[in-house]
Structure 1
Amino acid sequence: MSFQTRETKLHRWMKWGAVVVASIVALLIVVAISVYFLVRQSLPALDGNASVVGLTSSTTINRDALGTVNISAANAIDAARALGYVHAQERFFEMDLARRSAAGELSELLGKATLKMDEAKRLHRFRARLTTALASLSGNERAQLAAYTAGGECGAG
């Protein structure tokens, strides 16, 4: 085998190696950009206007530089709806975990690791107690709670 043949084979391998490395780098860049936009898309829109079904008057949600929320509403029902909207935007996963934890249903999401905790929580029958507590609320309190829930559904959607 001559020196030139070895050199030609070496150049061919180097050329293919460079193509493979460049392809892998390009693929990693495409994956990184895709992940960035998918994660970015899942974040709540904190600027601009949003249409929240059921508001009876103009309601404003402002956030300061630290992200602290200030709600301005003409009545308590609209304020509750706006608060539910904000909570769902910012804390939906936390709210879902708290609901599942209180009901003893974390194992449905996290598996066997939380089964003993779920069994202990179910002894307290928090869901049944909540139903009893809801029945004792006044009409105005129920309306505020319903508005909060509706705002949460809108904010999560």
Structure 2
Amino acid sequence: MDPFGDDTPVYVISVAAQLSGLHPQTLRTYDRMGLVSPGRSAGRGRRYSMRDIVMLREIQRLSQEEGINLAGIKHILELQRENVRLHEELDRLRRTAEDMAGELESTRAVAARLAQLHRDRTRPPGGELVPIRQTSVVLWRQRSEGE
């Protein structure tokens, strides 16, 4: 469940203003500034979601209790959105890495089994492996003129 509430845009501006404790003109200002961007109805009227209401209350709290100006609040909200996006990306990359690690482990198991089958097939009839003697190779070529 989303801690910021439902994203369904259902509240008209007068209801959103009442629920958030702000004046409708303040909500319009916040929309123009990009602090809270409500959905729009077919007639282009603003429709606020519960998430928007919670955000409006948080903006009010940051402004009144923390003394942060609207430009600072906008920056904070942008950083919070970026933080959420980065956490989602990190989670996706972790899942991908886990999937790849599982595939690698599976591939290693198949390779080990194939190597064992190859060893079993190349073993002499007595089942005993015999070391191969290493030899030196000498290459000869004709000497060309000028050497």
TM-score, with normalisation over the residues of structure 2? Answer: 0.33
Q: Greater Rg, structure 1 or structure 2?
A: 2
The structure with more helix, counted as a fraction of residues = 1
TM-score, with normalisation over the residues of structure 1? Answer: 0.31
